Amino acid sequence: MNSRQSVDETASRASLALDNLRAFVILLVLSFHSSLAYLAFLPSAPFAFDQPPYMWRSFPIVDPERSFGLEIYCAWQDVFLMSLFLLVSGLFVWPSLNRKGAGLFLRDRFLRIGLPFAVVVLFLMPVANYPTYLQGAAAPSVAAYWRHWLALPFWPAGPMWFLWPLLVAGIAAAALYRFAPQAGRAWAWIAASRPARLAAGFLVLSLLAYVPLALAFTPWPWAQFGPFSFQESRPLHYALYFFAGVGLGAGGIGRPFFAPDGVLARRWPLWLGFAAASFLLWMGLTWLTMTGSPPLILRALAYAGFPLACFGSCFAVLAVFLRFGRSNSRLVQSLRLNAYGIYLVHYPFVVWLQYALLPFAWPGIVKAATVFTGTLLASWATTAAIRLLPPAAAILGTRRQALPRAS
């Protein structure tokens, strides 16, 4: 096999693994939302629908059945999941810009991200949150709910909040491509540098992107304007992960970095160990800051633990999928094809199933598993049905997007 054939084979296997990883991230999103009603720290009563700080946006249903282990699972996902999603999404951006140009890329971006965001937020979110209102409503009618909904000082977007930052990041990447098209070569050169040096530089940048904002706002608050929301401590952190993905994708995935036996995948046990250790460190430091008035140095250390744990988990999952995640069965193909649609339509199923299970005295983890299974099946079937409509299929995707070969 000559060198070009070897590069093509590496790129093909890496592309399949990354596509499977994108679908797997959607499954994690569903499992995360399915578990939120059963976390041990939640209050005994549901959060008030029309009173600040509107915590029901994060916990739409509060179930009396709890499971402590789900808190650790959800904390782990909160640390890395959206960052990984942005990193993997960024891998596809520069080759798409090279293929389409900035104008066509933006048109497709608005069609694939902006339009679904508007449709789902406007029409599905009111349906999804009706059970949230019913949990504590004195007047449970639809008309009363609609009055309370319109009286809110924002329009809840639920999990769709993630789409508008992704759209803005794509616009920024298109502007960079339009005015500095040679940036891809610079990124490819940086991505081809020594892995240890690249990782160290990325960690330093992630600390600078996150810690000052976390000290200014604390890690938890959200800002919301109409349907647009974001976590105040994380915008620079998320932007860094997205453009790190853009840079890695600009260099092509036929390089050893992405190979199933390459520098990242070959050391997957070490990455898993680092991910576990950094996550435990973040949890321990964060727990020390949860009571009283911790000193500034302790808060800074706890906040620094977040980008460290995020980095560890993101690249551990990436390493595992590059090494083992190349399944191409018919079931996996269907999941890849429908994953984006599953993400778009899953939230009403989650909330209504959690509400339907309130009367049952099952353990919280059993309820979470039931909600996840029901949501996955219902969302999958709904997406498959929607994709029978050609315009919807064009938006949700009809085939796997190929990544470029190595430069």
Concatenating the DSSP letter of every residue in 22-51 gives: HHHHHHHHHHHHHHGGG-TTS-SSPPPTTS
- Residue identified by tokens 């679908």 is 23
Q: What pLDDT, on the 0 to 100 scale, is given for residue 4?
A: 52
CA-based end-to-end distance of the chain: 18
Q: What is the pLDDT of residue 398?
A: 62
Task: Give the up-direction half-sphere exposure of residue 349: CA atoms within 13 A in the CB hemisphere.
Answer: 22
Q: Mean of the pLDDT values across residues 343-353?
A: 98
Which residues constitute the domain of residue 364? 3-396
Q: How many domains does the chain have?
A: 1
The whole-number average pLDDT for the span 391-406 is 64
pLDDT at 401 (0 to 100): 44
Q: Is residue 375 part of a domain?
A: yes
d(CA 338, CA 207): 35
pLDDT of residue 406: 41
Residue 402: inside a domain, yes or no?
A: no
The answer to the question of residue 211 being in a domain is yes
Residue 401 lies in a domain: no
Chain centroid to CA 45: how far? 29
Query: What are the structure tokens assigned to 364, written together?
Result: 């919280």
Residue 172 pLDDT > 80:
yes
Confidence of residue 372 (pLDDT cuts 50, 70, 90): very high
Residue in this structure with the two tokens 């260099």, named with its chain if needed: 251
> Is 406 part of any domain?
no
Mean of per-residue pLDDT scores for the chain: 91
Cis-peptide, bond into residue 181, ω within 30° of zero: no
Domain for residue 405, yes or no?
no
In a domain, 407, yes or no: no
Per-residue model confidence (pLDDT) at position 116? 97
Domain for residue 403, yes or no? no
CA–CA gap between residue 284 and residue 114 (Å, rounded): 39
From 81-90, 189-198, 264-273, 326-335, the region with the lowest mean pLDDT: 189-198
pLDDT in tens, 94-132: 989 999 999 999 999 999 999 999 999 999 999 999 999
* Amino acid in the structure at residue 246: V
pTM: 0.93
The span from the CA of 24 to the CA of 89, in Å, is 13
For the segment 347-360, the average pLDDT, to the nearest whole number, is 98
Distance CA 268, CA 312 (A): 11
Q: CA-CA distance, 364 to 271, in Å (whole number)?
A: 31
Examine the pLDDT at 7 and tell me if it is beyond 60: no
Sequence-separated (6 or more) residues with CB below 8 Å from residue 286? 302, 305
Contact 165, 230 (CB under 8 A): yes
Segment 145-174 shows an average pLDDT of 96
- Residue 291 banded pLDDT, cuts 50, 70, 90: confident
